[in-house]
Chain A
Amino acid sequence: MFAYVVRRLLYALPILIGVNLITFGLFFVVNSPDDMARMHLGVKRVTPEAIERWKAERGYDRPLFFNAQAPGQGRITETIFFEKSLRMFAFDFGRADDGRNIGQEIRDRMGPSLALALPTFVLGLFASVAFALMLVFFRASYLDFWGVVWCVAMMSISSLFYIIGGQWLVSKVWALVPISGYAPGLDSARFLMLPVFISVIAGVGSNARWYRTIFLEEISKDYVRTARAKGLSELAVLFRHVLKNAMIPILTGVVVVIPLLFMGSLLVESFFGIPGLGSYTIDAINAQDFAVVRAMVFIGSVLYIVGLLFTDISYTLVDPRVRLE
């Protein structure tokens, strides 16, 4: 098990290097730092001095890969590639355009993101599985049919509609919770209730339909027939046999997103003014703060790879037939 985890982590290295090369190519090769400076300072009426100053402030005034002027090791280390790209492996992300340390900012904002994403994830999974189980219990009836129709209709509605509509109805018309904002500690529940509820509702349509297909596939297998022949009640069959075995395909899709919960949700956080990583990313995109976007891309891929590892490990936990070697 330990050896497997270590080997998987070593596999992850080339993938991270690939991610790094892609982001480096996107941010520094497709556009030269000069282009970025001109864009930031306004395309017209920009002096070469201003561009040089902009680049120097951010450390973009160095050569891309090889610095012939620097002595010794500096030939490699005093380049954009080393400073901006390789440093990320040590989780050193440098400074944002507003001068703040990106690493510190990320640490500060992880909490609110998680406070929103974790309840959403748990409640969403619970609601979707419960709804899907109900549809499977009443399968091939009108309830099942209209339940699926309901799911398809719900997944055809834009997530923006759920957010805007929910905010309007609950916060404005009923005035139950504040429209947006955040407070640390237990007080945050007041602010988080609505976004969590809305995110759960927005996701339940497509997830429940997907789980229903998985359950239906499982329910036509031989062991289920055997269980029924033994005289088990339909509920016992569903919960003790079908749910347990259907967990494997469900886990494949679910465990991988757990680490990504740290990244928060772009939309919900920005609509509800929650100071998490999602709204940080959106602000960075709108302000065209390339350093922050680059850092988020890197962190996102690290978390995704961790998620893949978790998925493999979780298989051994739910399915004794799978062994990691």
Chain B
Amino acid sequence: MNFQPVLLLTDVLFFLLLAIGCATVFYVRRSEPLRAAWRKVGSRASGMASATILLAFLAVGLADSLHYRPQLPSAAIGNGAAQTNADPTAAASHVSYSSEVLSVLDALLAPLRTRVEKTYSAPFAAELYARETVELPLGGQARIYPRLAHGAAHLADPSVERAGDLARRMTAGVAGAILVWLVVAGGLTTALARWRGHGLGEAVGALARGRTLLAWRAVLVTLAAILIVVGLSIALAPHYHVFGTDKVGQDVLYLSLKSVRTALIIGTLTTLVMLPFAVALGIMAGYLGGWVDDVIQYLYTVLNAIPGVLLIAAAVLMMQVVIDTHPQWFATAAERADARLLALCMILGITSWTGLCRLLRGETLKLRELEYVQAARAFGVGTPAILRRHVLPNVMHIVMIALVMDFSGLVLAEAVLSYVGIGVDPTTISFGTMINMARAELAREPMVWWSLMAAFAFMFVLVLSANLFADVVRDAFDPRRG
């Protein structure tokens, strides 16, 4: 299939963040104290388990960040016709691409994305949620629950066959998951055995008793849980709507997976955007003192004085005006939604850098008086060099802790802000928009609970693992916590 790669702004920044992450890994490998701190993170079972879950979410987010525009079928025909005319340049100019921007995740989940029902349907349901009037073949009309177009469509009589079919598919899914897990676990054991120079049996024993240097047992247990969930989804999702469908009949599992990217972008890019401000201003205020300190302190006191939600609301309202009055800036709807997402990250960043800035200022005030900084100053090292070489590396642990601590709060904040109407674009799939859409339907009888529950469950797992990981990182990097 022909396609045109699309690089949205948030994609670029997300990849930049990943590159920074990789660079950090290389940097850490060279520095013994940092390696020791990370080894401490790795030796904690909760740290490794939550890291595994976060990596799984990251994989989903990454697949959803590789965007492209598929070629339109009609254009493909035009393309073929042009080629018979032996004029490749003309052919190239004729190719037109869909205005719909898809991602690799969309392609992987194509069966979920395209199999849209009419409206709500419960998880694993074979019938629609709402009754419809149908013409009976013998004449006359009846109000029945019509069968779904896709969910459980392969069953002739769902009320009888469904339980058996579900059991069969679930067994297959779990069996597949166990198989994959065995392969991974075997690979890991062999690698560990070779690395430590032990026999295979010894490695298995150490792994099972949790006696390895890094908490690999926790990783394997978490991985087993993830694989079973994934295996069940793969076995069931093509034939059922595992989490039901929403108002316009979209599969809720698909929506939940798409929301992961939005959550990750908000949680990480916000910190990335504010980091340069917070670090530069905090260090300068602490080290230079005098009027620079006064100005920076004034700046963050003023920003701090405005209640966060209101500042965000005011800024988002204004940004909406800017985006709405300049429709010519954006080629596709996806680009506009993306610009809004990025703007939201920036607004959240601007309102949240003050806390980190104050912490960094305080730490720099302490560092400034230490012997090695004084010595550097006595040797005539310039201020920029001192800041870069002696101050910055020694406040990085605070930055690191802030980065992981902020993530979970930001993911939760996104849902609330989207509910209030000052969050992401309504067309962007996120946990907040999912909750917002599902909320109105709670009053229905019987209740439509599944899309709410799916959004909350995904958010809970993501935020819980982020919180656990943040705790472990803080314990390992904060010198005050022994």
Chain A residues within CB distance 8 Å of chain B: 14-16, 18-19, 22-23, 26-27, 30-31, 35-36, 38-39, 43, 152-153, 155-161, 164, 168, 260, 263, 266-267, 270, 281-282, 285-286, 288, 290, 293-294, 296-297, 300-301, 304-305
- Give the distance in Å from the alpha carbon of A27 to the alpha carbon of B416 in the complex: 23
Q: How far in angstroms is the closest Cβ of chain A from B310?
A: 5
Contacts of B431 in A (CB 8 A): 158
- Give the distance in Å from the alpha carbon of A300 to the alpha carbon of B305 in the complex: 8
Q: How far in angstroms is the closest Cβ of chain B from A287?
A: 10
CB neighbors of A among B305-319 (8 A): 305-307, 309-311, 313-315, 317-318
Confirm or deny: B421 has a beta carbon within 8 angstroms of a beta carbon on chain A: yes
- For B458-478 the 0/1 string (1 means CB < 8 A from A) is 011001100110010000000
Given contacts A15-B302, A294-B314, A300-B307, contact A160 B435 (CB under 8 A): yes
Contacts of B310 in A (CB 8 A): 281, 293, 296-297, 300
Interface size counted on chain B using CB atoms at 8 A: 45
Chain B residues within CB distance 8 Å of chain A: 298-299, 301-307, 309-311, 313-315, 317-318, 320-322, 324-325, 327, 408, 412, 415-416, 419-422, 431, 435, 439, 442, 447, 452, 456, 459-460, 463-464, 467-468, 471
- Give the distance in Å from the alpha carbon of A161 to the alpha carbon of B304 in the complex: 28
| Interface pair B421/A168, CB less than 8 Å apart | no
Across the two chains, which residue of chain A brings its CB closest to B312?
A: A285
| Interface pair B416/A31, CB less than 8 Å apart | no
| Interface pair B307/A260, CB less than 8 Å apart | yes
- Give the distance in Å from the alpha carbon of A15 to the alpha carbon of B314 in the complex: 18
- Give the distance in Å from the alpha carbon of A294 to the alpha carbon of B313 in the complex: 10
| Interface pair A157/B456, CB less than 8 Å apart | yes
| Interface pair B314/A304, CB less than 8 Å apart | no
Across the two chains, which residue of chain A brings its CB closest to B464?
A: A156
Question: Which of A26, A157, A159, A286 has a CB less than 8 Å from the CB of B421?
Answer: A286
B304, B467, B468, B471: which has the most chain A beta carbons within 10 Å?
B467
- Give the distance in Å from the alpha carbon of A98 to the alpha carbon of B431 in the complex: 33
Q: How far in angstroms is the closest Cβ of chain B from A147?
A: 15
- Give the distance in Å from the alpha carbon of A43 to the alpha carbon of B323 in the complex: 11
Contacts of B311 in A (CB 8 A): 297
Q: How far in angstroms is the closest Cβ of chain A from B11?
A: 26
Sample of 21 A–B contacts (CB below 8 Å): A18-B299, A18-B301, A19-B305, A39-B321, A43-B324, A152-B468, A153-B464, A158-B412, A158-B431, A158-B460, A159-B412, A159-B416, A160-B419, A164-B439, A168-B447, A267-B419, A282-B420, A285-B421, A297-B307, A297-B310, A301-B305
| Interface pair B416/A267, CB less than 8 Å apart | yes
Contacts of A35 in B (CB 8 A): 321-322, 325
Contacts of B299 in A (CB 8 A): 18
Contacts of A160 in B (CB 8 A): 415-416, 419, 435, 456
Contacts of B447 in A (CB 8 A): 168
